[in-house]
């Protein structure tokens, strides 16, 4: 093989690799973005097992934030069936503070544990 032919093959190989790298990067940018389907569904009941409508919900990313009542991630209220849903969450633990009048969840936060990815993670919380 001549020296010139070897240089041309090496240059062609490098060019092909460059094209592959460019198109693999471009290709991923044209793929549809998957939405985060991880959901948190909270159902709030009282000691009698009845749904609690209009209970205030605060969701925190950490126990420290819960304890200091700072950096609230999500707030909301339960519907007439005592339910509250939020989607697009990371698969990590969250801490819940749920209250209605003089009722609240236990003395400590409710820790959801790590949420399952792309699922509806359901939690039944009794406030007393």
**Residue 40 near residue 89, CB atoms below 8 Å:** yes
Residue 27 has pLDDT above 50, yes or no: no
The mean pLDDT of 95-112, rounded to a whole number, is: 87
* 65: containing domain: 39-126
Q: Is the dihedral of CA 85, 43, 109, 90 positive or negative?
A: negative
Does residue 90 share a domain with residue 108? yes
pLDDT-wise least confident of 25-29, 37-41, 78-82, 122-126: 25-29
Query: Do 103 and 44 sit in the same domain of this protein?
Result: yes
Provide the CATH number for the domain around residue 49.
2.60.40.1120
> What is the per-residue pLDDT across 40-62, written as a single tens digit (0 to 9) for each?
999 999 999 999 999 999 999 99
What is the pLDDT of the chain when averaged over all its residues? 82
Q: What is the four-CA torsion angle of 21, 22, 24, 29, rounded to 10 degrees?
A: 140
Q: How many domains does the chain have?
A: 2
């Amino acid at each position: 093989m001549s020296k010139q032919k070897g240089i041309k093959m090496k240059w062609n190989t490098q060019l092909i690799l460059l094209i592959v790298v460019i198109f693999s990067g471009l290709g991923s940018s044209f793929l549809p973005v998957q939405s985060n389907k991880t959901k948190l569904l909270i159902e709030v009941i009282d000691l009698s097992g009845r749904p609690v409508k209009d209970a205030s919900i605060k969701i925190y990313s950490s126990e420290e934030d819960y304890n200091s009542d700072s950096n609230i991630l999500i707030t909301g209220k339960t519907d007439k069936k005592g339910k509250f849903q939020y989607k697009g969450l990371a698969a990590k633990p969250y801490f819940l503070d749920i209250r209605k009048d003089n009722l609240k969840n236990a003395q400590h936060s409710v820790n959801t544990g790590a949420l399952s990815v792309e699922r509806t993670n359901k939690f039944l919380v009794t406030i007393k």
